Amino acid sequence: VAVDAALLAGVLMRTGERPHASDVVNYVPFTLLPSAVPRALFEQACTVQQDFNLLVDAVSQNKEFLEQTLASTIKVDDFTAQLFRIYMQVLEEGLAQTVFLGINRSDYMFDCGLDGTAALRQIEINTIAASFGGLTSRTADVHRLVLKVLGKTEEASHLLPNNPAKGLALGIAKAWELYGSQRAVVMFLVEEVQRNIFDQRCVENELWNRNIRVLRKRFRDVFEQGSLDASRRLYVDGQEVAVVYYREGYVPQVYDQQNWAARLLLERSRAVKCPDIATQLAGTKKVQQELSRPGTLEKLLPGHPEAVARIRATFAGLYSLDEGEEGDRIAATAIADPDRFVLKPQREGGGNNLYGEELREVLEKIKDSPERTSYILMDKIKPQPALNYLLRAHSPLQVSECISELGIFGVYVRQGQELVLNQAAGHLLRTKAIEHADGGVAAGVAVLDTPYLV
Ligand code: ADP
Ligand code: MG
């Protein structure tokens, strides 16, 4: 019943065997039952989202902070360095873009303290290509039906409405409108292999519903068909582009020389980039770690002491591995007690972090080399596991001990210096078996879930 409901609701993904075609599809893995989430922590995460929107937007406009924060990282991390070069190049030329659109997702786990109480701890904030806002708009209906079939009609009525797809489309539509050209289109910058296309279609179709035209193009299409006019308006395939919504571009492997050239062309243009390259840099793990230093939030958000306090309350321990005494000390602590920490490089998309023995080995090897500074260390969050069934095509049904990660979508639009939209746009709950340390839904580890507030 659950699988039929998921297929019927459109919780879909293309298959590994036919990743380029939609004629054979399957459901996206999901939990049989919703998972319990403490109501107070859920509400805390929703409330702090507008603050995080403000913060990301502030970081993206603060050249001095980005320069200082990433100085050590870009010496050793080529990918971040190349993003940073483009960032400096477009600043030197002068920005043609005047409208800014941020779509992010702040992810949290519920850390279980010694006394058994849970605390909200941010894992990271995704400022580029944050996914599953579309499909998660459809999973609550599936879980509602499952609960009813189980005779839990009352419980079914408690599941929250949730429609990030609409919220994200609202932001894109607002940016499109402020760009100010009826003819112009929204361009989704998509991957070569688009298995998660239905998630994107949810947002895309919301735009078509508003009579906004959407193009889907890859970097190489932009390289071949893209150009700027004298006032740096972007044209792709003969059409003026008002908004570029990146669902690609956050891992080094996608960039060859041509794709870097395409990225630079987009960044130089007047089109609203979601995100612009500064906002992508604001989402790096190194920035996240520097934000946790005492006094930094206060400097970035002067006049917002309450927002600063709400943001700080969600931070886990984060540690710099920059060269020097501070880095030496924390590296030694982590080598002695690796299970307390997670070692993170400047990468997105899951599967890059190091834990336990592997963390110890890698840190041992790089502790005296500059390579160390391409990583940060973070306290490991330890949530209370709960039992659930993870439904996956071709997999046997078995009960697993699971932990969940809550994401809150944020959307904001700024015109010049004026913030014209700042909202939380819904949530995403992902759940995985505890034996997996890392990895999201796209990586095949976590599955879609629905929070049941308790
Ligand atoms: P990515 O950009 O690859 O998504 P994340 O920081 O979100 O990087 O880490 C990937 C996954 O690793 C998370 O979804 C979570 O399951 C796990 N993880 C990350 N940080 C921690 C942490 N501090 N404690 C426990 N698990 C973590
Ligand atoms: Mg993540």
CB 133 within 8 A of CB 428: yes
Nearest CA to ligand 1 atom 16: 438
Q: Rounded distance, CA 79 to CA 96, Å?
A: 24
By most ligand atoms within 8 Å of CB, the mutation choice from 111, 112, 280, 353 for ligand 1 is 353
pLDDT of residue 343: 98
Cβ pair 391, 413 in contact under 8 A: no
Q: Ligand 1 within 6 A of 380 CB?
A: yes
Q: Cis peptide leading into 275, omega within 30 of 0?
A: yes
User: Does the annotation mark 382 as catalytic?
Assistant: no
Asked whether 204 lines ligand 1 (CB < 6 A), one says no
Whether residue 85 lies in the annotated active site = no
Q: Does residue 409 sit in helix, strand or coil?
A: strand
pLDDT given at position 441: 81
pLDDT of residue 443: 75
d(CA 93, CA 233): 15
- Tens of each residue's pLDDT in the chain, 454 residues: 999 999 999 999 999 999 999 999 999 999 999 999 999 999 999 999 999 999 999 999 999 999 999 999 999 999 999 999 999 999 999 999 999 999 999 999 999 998 989 999 999 999 999 999 999 999 999 999 999 999 999 999 999 999 999 999 999 999 999 999 999 999 999 999 999 999 999 999 999 999 999 999 999 999 999 999 999 999 999 999 999 999 999 999 999 999 999 999 999 999 999 999 999 999 999 999 999 999 999 999 999 999 999 999 999 999 999 999 999 999 999 999 999 999 999 999 888 999 999 999 999 999 999 999 999 999 999 999 999 999 999 998 889 999 999 999 999 999 999 999 999 999 999 999 998 878 778 777 899 999 999 9
Which residue CA neighbors atom 4 of ligand 1 most closely? Answer: 350
pLDDT of residue 440: 77
Domains of the chain: 1-316+381-453 (no CATH), 317-380 (3.30.1490.50)
Annotation says 126 is catalytic: yes
Q: What is the pLDDT of residue 285?
A: 98
75 in active site: no
Distance 378 CA to ligand 2 centre (A): 13
Residue of 342, 432, 449 best suited for mutating to test ligand 1, as the one with most atoms within 8 Å of CB: 342
CA dist., res. 99 & res. 103, Å (int): 14
- Note if 344 is an active site residue: yes
- Which residues, in sequence order, are bridge partners of residue 403? 432
